[in-house]
Amino acid sequence: MTASTLPTRRRWGNGGKTDPVAVYVAPNLGLTVKTTEHLMKYINHRCAAVIDGFNALDEAVRLTRFMEPIDAALARIRRPAYSIEVVRCESETDQAEQVAQDILNVAPSRDAALLWIRRSQAARAAALRLELAVAAKWQLLL
């Protein structure tokens, strides 16, 4: 599947009907897009539970084998170039998260909590991009 055949809008928060990640991944898994979307909702929690099981039973060797494809995928994460844009984005999202936290502290409400959660998620994503960019610049392995 090429980027040109993927949906142009992201599903989450933009009103699209299909998650572009599910569209991309479904053929590789031999699943429908809808099934892949459902799978994506909880797979991280299921993997975490399996990892907890390996740890609880001191199965380090099996855990290492289980983690191999995940570690390989993490190693393929694209590392953005270290730039003023990446730094600016991280700074702006960090400030937006702080404002949302202040709103939540001063006028707590469900809407304020949701705003803070969304801005916190954006700040973590921007921080990860910055970390990856710094690691790439200095040729560090994460």
Question: Is 94 a domain residue?
Answer: yes
Show the tokens assigned to 91: 């700074």
Q: Are 90 and 130 in contact (CB under 8 A)?
A: yes
Lowest-pLDDT range, 7-11, 15-19, 82-86, 90-94? 7-11
Count: domains in the chain = 2
- Does residue 142 form part of some domain? no
**Domain that includes residue 68, residue range:** 3-75
Q: Are residues 109 and 67 in the same domain?
A: no
Q: Which residues contact 89 (CB under 8 A, 6 or more apart)?
A: 126, 129, 130
> Looking at the structure, do residues 18 and 52 belong to the same domain, yes or no?
yes
Position 109 in a domain: yes
d(CA 41, CA 116) in angstroms, rounded, equals 21
Per-residue pLDDT for 2 more than 80? Answer: no
Of 31, 48, 75, the residue that ends a domain is 75
- Is 29 in the same domain as 51? yes
pTM above 0.95, yes or no: no
pLDDT in tens, 83-138: 999 999 999 999 999 999 999 999 999 999 999 999 999 999 999 999 999 999 99
Instruction: Take residue 2 and report the two structure tokens written for it.
Output: 């090429």
Q: Are residues 7 and 63 in the same domain?
A: yes
